[in-house]
Structure 1
């Protein structure tokens, strides 16, 4: 089956230009539209009938009827992770909502079901007539051995290590920059960051970038590195905290709060706390909402676009789409008197606050 990618390769134009030309967009010069149509005809290109039907319905303001089913694949150790994991539940809800709006039904598949292998899972999905696949985020780095050439596939986050697919990811740099901005506004200047190594690895080290930039603007004797926490060694964290006398801590792990309280430190009287990533304890604390519902919607939009362009298999140059985060106030921070000046990350602080 001829795809837009084939026409683009043959004509020398981008896929976007080919798509616009075939829909008779005035943004493409007429002679170019004619040339692209001729190449498409020569290659035997047949437009996606379901996609054309959907566009007609949208333009007519009608409710979109059923088009096809998409698969949500998850690799948790339990069959229904959304029942225990609020973040995953919101991802799924967002995906279902947007799928329904676009005329899709959603079917969930558990890749870790006993005796399930990639080949068998591919056969099951294909037998249902499913062409679109969403790989949900996982608890650890994993691979899935599907027959990828048969599917238009996308994923959420970076936990799928092979193959590399187009993906949607939270804007983690914005999340950290927003935490630092809010702390700065409340008067905090001596700020520490604590993370688990695997948390940063899953996010391609994007959380630490704004903080390290901020530290680079300070005198060398005032700089602090990101503290990589060892959940089995609370004493090393307490030693680090007490030797630096931080006014506030940005952390991805709730262990930090427990250890501070066990040592007699009060939040926020002695130290402010903010979470830049999802947590399931201390949910009333100041934090970043990574808007998983919107991520679920965005991943369906990305898949829908690939299905419309008949893009199957693994992309040569995978794309990443970022979703913005929101700020949530909480009693773990308070207003304090600033101690001296500190650099403000003007460029990073231009992100919307949510």
Structure 2
């Protein structure tokens, strides 16, 4: 940086700001600095960059920098009633604290709250970036935040607009793992009953993986994607398809299966395993890992002074772990493996 400053007759601070993408350097001068850096073969030292970022942050304030976790659709009551949501935000809080930040939650579903209003609140409080929770409904596909003022990350694929940096669970790998574990047990007539909307929201990753990795060449009616899920339709599908095992995206069919006689009840596997229902085997999506990954991606943008809609959005995928239907604690296996026992 000293060499560049001497060549151009400017201060090292101006060089530093330009190389970090600072907004307070004129475009023409910034271009000259970047050109000189390229000619001199300048490369940043990641360890020094990390140290300087920390020093700049601690000089600004003794309190941790606050980042926001924005619930796009869930109210505070809905967030408290969802174990997945609790696990997600807990992982985010822990990672933010680990990296020296503080995470504060906001709700777009709160009375009188809008994207623009929330943007004004975040800007007034000096919050530079936020994580946006999963978007479920099409109506929430576009959230009118003042994107240009913040760094941001969206959790999940969904219908979010504009295209931003995202983190999401590797759903394709999750289905593949479930099928491999079941095939290892000798099952062939493996059925999948799920809502079509949630499958489309993840760009049909579940159905694509189901068809690609199913033990039968033509699964036929074993794949059931429905716009509307109800018990009568589920029972009718069971009679027609006769699956040995039913995979579902959560735990919706659990209650319906429990209403059936045990000798007629197929095995049950969930792609959204829950700790409060350990009797059902499945893929633990590890929402806490997902929340931590979102914080990592957001902090990276903050440290690199990135704001607004990215030119090349990044997608970070996290793996789940396979959980057997055993009440005692079992050592989890990465979803890429096939060893283990399904105690359905």
TM-score normalised to the size of structure 2? 0.75
Distance 1:264 1:281, change over 3 A: farther
For 1:82 and 1:234, locate their aligned partners in 2 and report how far apart those are by CA, in whole Å.
26
For 2:297 and 2:243, locate their aligned partners in 1 and report how far apart those are by CA, in whole Å.
42
In the alignment, which residue of structure 2 is the partner of 1:192?
Answer: 191
For 2:82 and 2:131, locate their aligned partners in 1 and report how far apart those are by CA, in whole Å.
18
In the alignment, which residue of structure 1 is the partner of 2:330?
Answer: none
Provide the secondary structure at the position in 1 that maps to 2:76: coil
Gapped runs of 5+ residues in structure 2? 1-16, 28-33, 57-61, 328-333, 340-344
Displacement after TM superposition at 1:155 (Å): 1.1
Displacement after TM superposition at 1:167 (Å): 0.7
Gapped runs of 5+ residues in structure 1? 11-17, 23-30, 41-46, 58-64, 333-348
Distance 1:175 1:189, change over 3 A: same
Provide the secondary structure at the position in 1 that maps to 2:308: coil
Which of 238, 260, 271 is the equivalent residue of 1:276?
271
Distance 1:280 1:228, change over 3 A: farther
For 2:239 and 2:280, locate their aligned partners in 1 and report how far apart those are by CA, in whole Å.
22
User: C-alpha offsets along residues 234-279 of structure 1, whole Å, 9 cap, x if unaligned?
Assistant: 333323222222111111253433333434354xx74211001256
For 2:103 and 2:271, locate their aligned partners in 1 and report how far apart those are by CA, in whole Å.
30
User: C-alpha offsets along residues 213-237 of structure 1, whole Å, 9 cap, x if unaligned?
Assistant: 134x7454x6445202465643333
Distance 1:243 1:148, change over 3 A: same
For 2:153 and 2:239, locate their aligned partners in 1 and report how far apart those are by CA, in whole Å.
45
Say whether residues 1:289 and 2:284 are aligned partners: yes
For 2:237 and 2:104, locate their aligned partners in 1 and report how far apart those are by CA, in whole Å.
48
User: C-alpha offsets along residues 321-351 of structure 1, whole Å, 9 cap, x if unaligned?
Assistant: 010100111169xxxxxxxxxxxxxxxx981
In the alignment, which residue of structure 2 is the partner of 1:351?
Answer: 336
Distance 1:196 1:283, change over 3 A: farther
Displacement after TM superposition at 1:52 (Å): 3.8
In the alignment, which residue of structure 1 is the partner of 2:176?
Answer: 177
For 1:241 and 1:4, locate their aligned partners in 2 and report how far apart those are by CA, in whole Å.
59
Displacement after TM superposition at 1:119 (Å): 1.9
Say whether residues 1:114 and 2:111 are aligned partners: yes
Say whether residues 1:79 and 2:72 are aligned partners: no
In the alignment, which residue of structure 1 is the partner of 2:86?
Answer: 89
Which of 31, 34, 54 is the equivalent residue of 2:40?
34
Provide the secondary structure at the position in 1 that maps to 2:290: helix
Q: Contact 1:75–1:110 (CA<8 Å) still a contact in 2?
A: yes
Distance 1:93 1:33, change over 3 A: farther
For 2:229 and 2:169, locate their aligned partners in 1 and report how far apart those are by CA, in whole Å.
29
Say whether residues 1:148 and 2:147 are aligned partners: yes
Displacement after TM superposition at 1:113 (Å): 1.8
In the alignment, which residue of structure 1 is the partner of 2:303?
Answer: 308
Say whether residues 1:209 and 2:208 are aligned partners: yes
Distance 1:271 1:260, change over 3 A: same
User: C-alpha offsets along residues 120-143 of structure 1, whole Å, 9 cap, x if unaligned?
Assistant: 211110111111111112442412
Cα RMSD of the aligned pairs, angstroms, is 3.6
For 1:127 and 1:51, locate their aligned partners in 2 and report how far apart those are by CA, in whole Å.
27
Provide the secondary structure at the position in 2 that maps to 1:314: coil
Instruction: Trace 1:244-283 onto structure 2 (pairs within 5 A).
Output: 244-266=241-263, 270-278=265-273, 282-283=277-278
For 2:22 and 2:52, locate their aligned partners in 1 and report how far apart those are by CA, in whole Å.
23
| Length, aligned pairs only | 299
Provide the secondary structure at the position in 2 that maps to 1:100: helix
For 2:276 and 2:170, locate their aligned partners in 1 and report how far apart those are by CA, in whole Å.
22
In the alignment, which residue of structure 1 is the partner of 2:158?
Answer: 159
Q: Contact 2:68–2:105 (CA<8 Å) still a contact in 1?
A: yes
Q: Contact 2:22–2:305 (CA<8 Å) still a contact in 1?
A: no
